[in-house]
Structure 1
Amino acid sequence: MVRRAAPVAGLRLPAERSSFVGRRAELGRVRTLLVESRLVTLVGPGGVGKTRLALRAARELGRSFPDGTALAELTAVADPALTAAHVAAAFDVRDTTGRWLPAALAEVLGERRVLLVLDNCEHLRDACAVLVDALLPGCPGLSVLATSRAPLDLPGEALCPVPPLPVGAGSDGAALLAQRARAAAPDLVLTAADDGTLAELCRRLDGIPLAIELAAVRLRTLTPAELLDRLDDRFGLLRRSGPGGPVRHRTLRATMEWSADLLGGPERLLWARAAVFAGDFDLPAAAAVCAGDGLPADDLLDVLDGLVDASLVTVVRDGARSRFAMLETVRAFGRELLNAAGEAPAVRRRHRDWCARLMADAAAQFLGPGQVAAFDRLAAVHPEIAGALEHCRRTPGEEATGLCIAADAWLYWAARGHLGEGRRRLDLLLAAVPASCPERARGLVVAGYLALVATDPRTAVPLLEEGLRNARALDLPAVAALATQYLGQAALFGGDLPAADRLLRAAAAAHEAVGAPAGAFCWADVGVVALLAGDLGTADAAFGTSLAAAADPWTRSHALWGRGLVRLAGGAPGAAGRLERQALRLMREVDDRSGVALCVSALGWTAAAHGDARTAARLAGAAESVWRSVPARLPAPLAAVQEQWEGVARRALGEQQWRTWHAEGSSLQRAAAVALALDEQPPARPRESPSPGPLTRRQQEVAGLVAQGLTDREIAARLVISPRTAESHVEQILTRLGFRSRAQIAAWAAVHD
């Protein structure tokens, strides 16, 4: 049986914030190039509209990629080593297993037909090229639409230059200027008499969309003729005295400087200071980093409104709160203003201190009931944390502060899929802080923990042992307790159950002695050790101790999962199922994806023990789908349990029925797999004897387009395939249906639509 993998979950493009003007020829060119090549790169200068064109093209091509379109926006990624993690996150794949991320992502994507929009590649060209070169051969259904100021220089890459907008009277450039002006000033009246002036404005702005949009805002207070006069004066001065370089780059720079000159002092100051942010920011962040020294906190909102009015900052609605964003070109010029004012070091220190406070406050909630909310807060500012850590690493005297921030993020790195980034940052900062100190001791322990999560005990154990020695020498009992705990986990992973039990119990006692809540997880691991040793009584007691002490959902979910396995092994599948469902709800809340897979697997086993073989088969398939989405596999020590209970269900159903029900579960996305396991929606019954019909899904699509009267070449363009492939599909349809003409296909499609 051919199994159709579930679509990648959560893929969507951001909504357009304003109307899209023109570019029909370029859109057609992109469509044609994506038929001929699986890698198309839009190239052009900053501000020319590459991102808007790519996103519009991706929307129009949505039906050609039935498994989704993902956007990886790379502007805030400063370290090339983090490119793969950022792209994987766009596909909802997290760096949680320690595997080489491109290989893991390729495994998840498989043969799915997906489009990746890779935006703003120019500063990461080599990293993007390596990643795309690794993905395309292993993912035959993947196409990539990149934007960059320079090509990626890969074999098979098709380039699509993005020119400025046409600028004559009635042109797209003039239409953009008029539309944006009316949006900025709803009472503005433009007549046919203004057409020539608008066209000349666009010509002076070289048809660059960003420059046109910045200029349009000034039509709130100036007539088109007045705007043109001021623009001519300003650009004439800048072009006579400004730096060399391509005319379009000088035009954009001139527009930026002109915009800055039209601002008041506070707005100009806020533009410069807010440019220190790597991504979006909210009002409290702006107050913490930008207020003071000439910019009173009480005036901040009014000043920010001024930047919004000038189209230098855009408002992004985020639930009940507003966030503020800058285009990268605007941010880059703001940083020039910051450096020119001599404020960059002081503002970067404020930004670092703000990040350190956010991290410390969140870390205090990692093992409490506010755990998930703490993870969410950090995820919202992840680009800022990365920027602060990079600043600390590169600034003499700041390394220990950076190491403290990175170590505070210990559980966040693992829980939210930034495992590789966390390990890399800790490695670099530990190298920069070689002398024994509290920051280094804790950094060593966290680095060892992350190595364990990445299933790399050879690296983990030396780090943990050195951290333990440093912690004892510096009298840091809380750090020593963590080191002992993770050495116990390393022994557990290595199969040394007696050593694991001894170390984990010692760590639990040490945590209790210093009043730290981490002991609850130690007891959950003591329970796992006893469970693997077959000592159900000790395991049950240890899981109970963990549940009595644990306040955070992650620890509680693992203790409930383990206790459910104890009940299953003890012959109480009903109680086991109740415990596993409790655990699964918590693991879904935390978004522990491996934990979700463990619980779905366990609920399949409890169904088999109950005698519900169909549900057991469906949940076995659903668990397999969840493991693929991580991607990871069931831990080896549980393989015998899986074999036992799946064997029971297979024998009850027979091999053919087992495959049918298993395949249905395997086709589910992760959210649907969880809903099935929790019985939160009526399960859809598969056909007893599934039949795909005479045509495949792709052939059905082609037949529908034939019925619309499209030629093979038009079908190829619509589906983003080659004309030869489209012709082959039509021939196969004729053969399968026993027809001799396209008219017969059209009649068949009309009946079977």
Structure 2
Amino acid sequence: MPETRRSPVLVGRASQLADLRELVLDQNIRLLTVTGGAGVGKSRLAATAVRNAESRFISVDLAETSEGEQAWGTILDALGRPAEPHATPPGPDAVAARIGVEPMILLADNCDLVARDLAAGLSAVLVRCPGLTVVATSRHALDLYQEVLYLVPPLSIASDGSEASPAAQLLWNCVETRFRDAAIAADRSQLEQIAAELDGVPVGLELAATAVGRLGAERTLDRIRSGQQLPPSPFVDVPSRHRSIRACVEWALSDLDEMGLFVLLHVAASSVLTDLEEVLLLSGERGDPIAGKLAELVDRSLLDHSVAENGHYTYAISGFTRSFCRQLLFEDRVLAKRVRFRRAEGLRLLAREITRLLAEPDGRAEALRLIDRWLPDIVATVRYLIDHDAYRDAIELLSELEDVWIERGLLADAEAIVATLMAAVDSGAHPPTLMAAGRELLGRWALRSGRFEDAKRLLAPVVSARNTDTRRTDPGLVHRAGRALAQVHHETGKPQRARTLLARFPSAAASPAEQPVAALMEAVIGLGDVPLEDDETWSALRDHAAALPRRRDRLTVLNTLGRTLLRARSPHRALEVFHLVLRTPEPVMSLLEMVTALEGCARAYDAAGVEYSEQTHRLSAATHWIRASCSLSRIAGNSADPAVSTIGAVLDIDEAIAYALSIPLLSRADLGSPLLSRLTKRQLETALLVAEGMTNRMIANRLGIAEWTVVNHLRQVMTRLDCPSRLHVALVIERETQQPA
């Protein structure tokens, strides 16, 4: 039969006990307030220190008192109230008269509910009783001038590896003394996790010990993390306020107003330290009220605070108080939903701030700090919104943080989250607009990362004429998708389809903020794939794009222009545009655009001929490695170049950019005949073989393609070279190939 007794040992408190004894015996200290969070062990520690002080002491428990007169009466009863019928009524004067000038220590335990009332008269009592030392325990200070505060911290949850942490040791002792078999079966790592979740608060550990004995360590840990109540304390001598985590914290919170509770729940929802500016940003509130509530929560020992390097107050919440907040939200689903959605809105404000900072060179450091601090909370909030069918809010938050996903190599993960969201939308009775919004977001990301076929597959259903519900309820979304799809058709060599879509979704119908970029993109798409005879048209577009104020818009339009020039068989012009992108300061701020420009450079050198094969191979290998190492979505067919094994790879974005900019730009002389540059590589091969006198069948055998494909290529050659017959093709080829380079 296991022993059924509580462990009386103050585990891990030797240092605090010695400190308190020294303070109690200090003749210069008349009022010592032992403070700290709920359940941290203030009463037990103070009582032990006073009991060993070798001085007369009186202990008074004020936990059940709620007003000043009642508190003074309780103290007077402990001192021995006079029996005279006309004695002084309970109050500071009566207590002072009863104590007199004799040396005494008064332990006023659990003063929380009457601290303000006691403070009003305690100062006078200390003046009239020169031998009196008052030791009070309270979650907040009495706010007297002569008061000395001693903060009792939770038990340490740090372990040196060979021995359990003090918090885990107390948990083990409590389990072992009542449930010996459970202690033997408990996994040490799980006990350490439970101790960490409760932040080493002794009352929480004692309650967890009962749960471990009855449910096991793993289920206890799950209950704490999910916000479910633990089994109440089984000991009859434990006060009701210590029988559960919620009762322990709520005991002194009866006068905490709604805003104070909201701020507490808001901070508890975060897994990181929070400074005042971030609380204001995330809560959407400005001004003094939030700051005042944070100060009140610190005063009530519900939050801890310190001063950060930037001079801001930084706030943290104990695991014990966080467990209380979890239980509160678990039991009140309406409150939980309100807090969560208010927090999601705050995180959207934070996302916009991060996006704004990322777009500014001077703001990048602050943006990265915010990303590193809040990214886990943001991701958790997105998943919460999806789990609770708030798909529109989730899509908007994902969209706001587009640059963050790219910055931290999480674009593929974000796309997977959107795909999960769309699957949930597709399986339920949700408006088509939600599915369209998800498709538009994924399509835009695919377009930005160069996966044009994926973008086409995603965007086409949004633009479809059959999608009447979405067109009616969210015309702006359809307009954006239509213009993006036009760009996809342009990028995939279908200029007529692109122009048709632009006629349906003109730049003039875009929002005022989007119109300048939309009009410029419209002009770029209008170039088509026809070789340009002059430099004026494309250079004017280049200059207009370079003048766009927003960095992402500027680089996106320039890269689109560069790819357009490549398809127009002007790689020398395209290379100039890509170099302009690569010369942008702080290239890591626009990683995806930089990789796109490097890929464009590789294609430009590939079009220039075999003499630039080394440059082509190096840049291709570099972009493949960068996409893989930064978890950027890969373009279909863009695999590692086997030639890199003999040439060597450029494996860093800055190094790759420096290498690309060090290669000389191309000129017309590098490209051969301007007339023949109108032909694709396969068309030029066909034309050269025609000039050699080969038949269609012979050409098909030589190139390993179907004969009808040769016929199609030849028709294109005749159209582009303005030749009415095969003979004219042969004559043009002979003339152009004999020209000096």
Q: Give me the TM-score of the superposition, normalised by structure 1.
A: 0.45
- Larger relative contact order, structure 1 or 2 (CA cutoff 8 Å, min sep 6): 1
- The two structures have a TM-score, normalised by structure 2, of 0.46
Q: Which has the larger radius of gyration?
A: 2
